[in-house]
């Protein structure tokens, strides 16, 4: 646009005095403020921004924040860092949405004071400058009658009456005068950041949890179908192992039509129980429990016992149906009909799930479908469920999840949603932005030191750090990774420790993991004789189980606050590619944990680990104690580089607590 064509109103807009202050590069924010950042109750939100203006004017800035239920803003002074970067912070204290923005303005009096100081230092005549300052003070307080204004008027009088120029300058440069005057910022130069940013606040469980998954139908005696009452017998043992979330696969009636048999066989026998993810038959659908598991009252008692033991129940939320689900007859418009008159079953080629029908979100009756799916969530919330593991959310519209999660959290802000999908990175990230509390990750397939460190650096730095909460699972009923198939017990131990200490949220498909089950379908990352398609009889006390070690790891997590966050992981230099080392520390460095893992499941590995003493507040000539929290052994280390050796057949990991002496 040429100057000749520039509109008059554009000139006025550009010359607006409020545009004198530039506020940009505000962090944290997600996609330019399109989505909220995520925090939990108790978190401190640190906000930074580039704030500057022309010339040498002195700037003041403040961080504004409030809860959604509040009308007025709380104001926190921001501090100058360097290179026009400013910082302020506030604490999340309530389970509700928070908002924040920034205000900045030119501090004319401080700018004047800076100029006056230079002239005093250069022994210049400052009488005219003093007069300029006094005129400014007169203008600010001329019509004000509060206590601060009265004090300022007293300063004005004393400066005017002072015959000693040096003493007048001392009064004019008083910090007390500046502090009083800052109660009346210059409205003419006020600049408020053009965006009001938001914080999605959730309860602490969203950021720190340990999940244990098991199939309730495998809790029966001698291979009989288990019940909720029989499951209750297992709960104290899981609680002793230190888990705080019990996750059950779908507990609803299972379809008969095209039921899958053993190892996902398309032909089932009359004894095959079917896949729990083929939900619904004549006995009910998503709001019913499988009759062989018990009644709804039995489920409520199971939830009660779980809570009494200090754990929570996580329900599988799977929005799909068997061909026998009551929805199919009642709402056929919710499913896609093929030209031959049959319904389109679920496909994820090369996988075919002939026993499952996906919902058709393109239906003209989509609004009723959405409301019904929401009613399923509300039904189980009212029956004591506050956590949902959502199966394959990437196959449903993003706009649906954004609506559903927002609708639920309006009345039930304590409810958490785990996004259980291993799909494309951008899709997984979008679901997290839309409100999922936690997310599955690619940790399952990150095995080398380079892969693990690069992936954690990606997850723990902006932008992902502000909206993507990882939940690390070394195995699931769907996935038995090749390294677990091949590495034996040492690999299971190494993957357990990596998952539990790298991420503050982690989970295991319990019986199979604690017993180091590695039998897989040939050439596939799938369990042989998968529990998804049959009732298993587990001997949880067989030799070689990991229950005691798992309990010890979870105890270490609970007792060390440094392990209760994911974002604080930092990797250490090690001179052996088969050893990975990283540390975590809390804010005041009162709790520092170093983890060293041998990634080679077959050979002893040794090397030198570099501890960043300067970052941990330890003097280079000062010995420090290394307490192994698994073996209870203690060592004295000194200097940055120290030697470690790990035998995978005894224990392939160290979890040290670092303590200054």
Of residues 646, 653, 477, the one with CA closest to residue 556: 653
Task: Compute the Cα dihedral for 78, 460, 626, 575 and give only its sign.
Answer: negative
Nearest alpha-carbon partner for 41 in 205, 206, 208, 201: 201
**What is the Cα–Cα distance from 580 to 543, expressed in whole angstroms?**
29
The residue among 239, 365, 373, 257 whose CA lies nearest residue 318 is 373
Distance CA 129, CA 131 (A): 5
Q: Hey, where are the domains in the chain? A: 8-107+189-201, 114-184, 204-319+365-560, 570-660
pLDDT at 642: 97
Nearest residue to 573 (alpha-carbon basis) of 656, 642, 629: 642
Grouping H, G, I as helix, E, B as strand and the rest as coil, residue 18 is helix
Residue 215, classed as helix, strand or coil, is coil
DSSP character for 465? G
The 3-state secondary structure of 309-322, one letter per residue:
CCCEEEEEECCEEC
Q: What is the band of 152 on the pLDDT scale with cuts at 50, 70, 90?
A: confident
Percent of the chain with pLDDT over 70: 97
- pLDDT of amino acid 43: 97
Q: What is the CATH number that goes with domain 204-319+365-560?
A: 3.20.20.80
List the structure tokens of 479: 């996935």
Percent of the chain with pLDDT over 90: 80
Could you tell me the CA-to-CA distances from 391 to 152, 319, 510 in Å, in that order?
A: 65, 8, 18
Q: Is residue 16 over pLDDT 70?
A: no
For 70-122, how does the pLDDT look when each residue is reduced to its tens digit (9 = 90+)? 999 999 999 999 999 999 999 999 999 999 999 998 888 888 888 888 888 88
* 3-state class (DSSP) for residue 251: coil
CA distance linking residue 649 with residue 492, whole number of Å: 12
Q: For 188, which DSSP code?
A: G
Cα torsion angle, 415, 420, 425, 430, sign: negative
Helix 398-411 and helix 425-433: axis angle, to 10°?
30
The most distant pair of C-alpha atoms in the chain lies apart, rounded to whole Å, by 107
Local confidence band at 188 (pLDDT 50, 70, 90 cut-offs):
low
Whether pLDDT at 132 is above 50: yes
Of 360, 364, 356, 370, nearest to 399 by C-alpha is 370
Distance CA 121, CA 125 (A): 11
Residue 611: pLDDT band (50, 70, 90) is very high
Query: Quick one: tokens of 142?
Result: 């001329």
Region 480-506 average pLDDT? 98
Which secondary-structure segment (H or E) carries 485? helix 482-502
Q: What's the whole-number mean pLDDT along residues 206-229?
A: 97
- Mean of pLDDT values over 304-330: 98
**Six-digit token string for 646:** 């790990």
pLDDT > 70? residue 7: no
Q: What per-residue confidence (pLDDT) applies to 5?
A: 38
Residues 6+ apart with CB under 8 A from 637: 611, 623, 624, 625, 626
Q: Does pLDDT of 264 surpass 60?
A: yes
- C-beta of residue 306 within 8 angstroms of C-beta of residue 211: no
Look at the domain 8-107+189-201 and name its fold. Answer: Immunoglobulin-like (2.60.40)
For the residues 281-290, what does the mean pLDDT come to? Answer: 98
Distance, CA of 19 to CA of 6 (rounded, Å)? 18
Residue 300 half-sphere exposure toward CB, CA atoms < 13 A: 8
More confident residue, 186 or 541: 541
Residue 431 parent element (H or E): helix 425-433
Q: Please give the CATH architecture assigned to the domain spanning 570-660.
A: Sandwich (2.60)
Pairing of strands 245-248, 209-213: parallel
Q: Are 657 and 595 in contact (CB under 8 A)?
A: no
Q: What is the mean pLDDT of residues 598-611?
A: 98
pLDDT value of residue 112: 82
Of 108, 125, 54, 107, which is closest to residue 84 (Cα–Cα)?
A: 54
Give the phi and the psi of residue 316 in degrees, each rounded to 5: -75, 125
- For the segment 513-563, what is each residue's pLDDT rounded down to a tens digit? 999 999 999 999 999 999 999 999 999 999 999 999 999 999 999 999 999
Rounded mean pLDDT, 418-436: 97
Partners of 211 in beta bridges: 245, 507
What confidence category does residue 229 fall into, taking pLDDT thresholds of 50, 70 and 90? very high
Note the Cα 313 to chain centre separation in Å. Answer: 20
Residue 145: other Cβ atoms inside 10 A: 8
For residue 553, what are the CA distances in angstroms to 109, 175, 214, 247, 493? 58, 54, 19, 19, 10
Whole-angstrom Cα distance, residue 244 to residue 208? 10
Least confident of 53-67, 145-159, 243-257, 453-467: 145-159
Find residue 658's DSSP bridge partners.
626
CA distances from 615 to 20, 158, 479, 503, 587 (A): 39, 50, 39, 21, 12
Mean pLDDT across 279-285: 98
**Residue 75 in 3-state DSSP?**
strand
Q: Which runs of consecutive H residues, i.e. helices, occur in 35-182?
A: 108-121, 127-141, 147-161, 165-172, 175-181
Closest by CA position to 242, among listed 540, 547, 512, 551:
551
Reduce the DSSP state of residue 29 to 3 states and report it: coil
The model's confidence at residue 628, banded by pLDDT at 50, 70 and 90, is: very high
pTM, two decimals, is 0.92
Report pLDDT for 153. Answer: 86
Q: Would the CA dihedral through 80, 106, 24, 28 be positive or negative?
A: positive
Residue 12 has pLDDT above 70, yes or no: no
CA–CA separation, 338 and 341 (whole Å) = 5
Which pLDDT score, from 0 to 100, does residue 549 have?
Answer: 98
Rounded Cα distance between 220 and 597, Å, is: 38
Intrachain domains 8-107+189-201 and 570-660 with the same fold: yes
- Reported as type and span, the H/E element at residue 192 is strand 191-192
| Nearest C-alpha neighbor of 147 from the set 175, 172, 180, 174 | 180
């Amino acid at each position: 646009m040429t100057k000749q064509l520039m509109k008059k109103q554009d000139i006025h807009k550009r010359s607006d005095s409020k545009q004198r202050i530039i506020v940009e590069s505000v962090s944290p924010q997600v996609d330019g403020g399109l989505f909220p950042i995520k925090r939990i109750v108790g978190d401190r939100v640190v906000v930074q921004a580039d704030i500057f203006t022309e010339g040498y004017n002195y700037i003041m800035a403040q961080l504004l924040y409030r809860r959604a239920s509040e009308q007025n803003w709380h104001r926190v002074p921001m501090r100058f860092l360097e290179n026009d970067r400013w910082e302020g912070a506030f604490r999340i204290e309530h389970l509700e949405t928070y908002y924040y923005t920034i205000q900045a303005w030119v501090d004319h009096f401080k700018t004047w004071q800076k100029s006056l100081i230079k002239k005093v230092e250069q022994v210049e005549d400052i009488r005219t400058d003093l007069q300029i300052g006094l005129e400014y003070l007169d203008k600010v307080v001329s019509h004000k009658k509060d206590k601060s204004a009265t004090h300022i008027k007293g300063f004005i009088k004393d400066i005017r009456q002072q015959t000693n120029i040096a003493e007048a300058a001392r009064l004019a440069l008083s910090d007390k005068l500046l502090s009083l005057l800052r109660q009346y910022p210059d409205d003419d130069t006020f600049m408020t950041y053009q965006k009001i940013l938001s914080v999605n606040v959730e309860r602490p469980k969203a950021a720190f949890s340990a999940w244990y998954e098991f199939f309730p139908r495998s809790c029966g005696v001698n291979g009989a179908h288990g019940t909720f009452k029989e499951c209750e017998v297992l709960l104290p043992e899981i609680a002793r192992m230190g888990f705080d979330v019990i996750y059950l696969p779908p507990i609803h009636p299972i379809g008969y039509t095209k039921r899958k048999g053993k190892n996902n066989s398309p032909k089932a026998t009359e004894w095959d129980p079917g896949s729990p993810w083929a939900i619904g038959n004549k006995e009910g659908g998503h709001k019913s429990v499988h009759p062989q598991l018990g009644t709804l009252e039995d489920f409520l008692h199971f939830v009660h016992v779980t809570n009494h033991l200090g754990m929570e129940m996580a329900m599988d939320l799977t929005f799909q149906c068997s061909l026998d689900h009551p929805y199919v007859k009642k709402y056929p418009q919710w499913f896609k009909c093929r030209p031959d008159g049959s319904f389109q079953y679920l496909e994820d080629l090369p996988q075919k799930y002939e026993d499952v029908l996906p919902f058709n979100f393109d239906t003209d009756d989509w609004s009723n479908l959405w409301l019904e799916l929401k009613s399923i969530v509300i039904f189980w919330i009212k029956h004591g469920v506050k956590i949902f593991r959502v199966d394959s959310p990437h196959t449903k519209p993003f706009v649906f999840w954004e609506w559903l999660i927002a609708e639920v959290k309006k009345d039930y802000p304590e409810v958490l949603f785990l996004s259980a999908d291993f799909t494309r990175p951008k899709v997984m990230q979008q679901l997290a932005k839309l409100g999922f509390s936690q997310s599955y990750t690619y940790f399952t397939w990150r095995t080398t030191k380079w892969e693990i460190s690069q992936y954690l650096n990606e997850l723990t730095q902006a932008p992902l750090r502000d909206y993507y909460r990882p939940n690390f699972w070394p195995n699931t009923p769907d996935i038995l990774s090749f390294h677990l198939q091949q590495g034996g017990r040492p690999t299971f131990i190494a993957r357990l420790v990596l998952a539990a200490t790298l991420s503050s949220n982690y989970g295991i498909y319990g019986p199979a993991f604690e017993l180091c089950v590695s039998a897989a379908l040939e050439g596939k990352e799938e369990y042989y004789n998968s529990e998804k398609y049959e009732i298993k009889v587990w001997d949880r006390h067989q030799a070689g189980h990991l229950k005691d070690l798992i309990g010890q790891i979870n105890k270490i997590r609970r007792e060390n606050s440094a392990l209760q966050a994911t974002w604080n992981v930092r990797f250490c230099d090690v001179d052996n590619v088969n050893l990975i080392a990283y540390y975590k520390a809390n804010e005041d460095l009162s709790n520092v944990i170093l983890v060293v893992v041998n990634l080679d499941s077959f050979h002893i590995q040794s090397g030198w680990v570099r501890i960043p003493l300067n970052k941990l507040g330890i003097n280079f000539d000062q010995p420090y104690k290394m307490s192994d929290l698994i073996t209870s052994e203690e060592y004295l280390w000194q200097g940055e580089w120290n030697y470690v050796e790990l035998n995978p057949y005894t224990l392939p990991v160290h979890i040290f607590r670092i303590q200054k002496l």
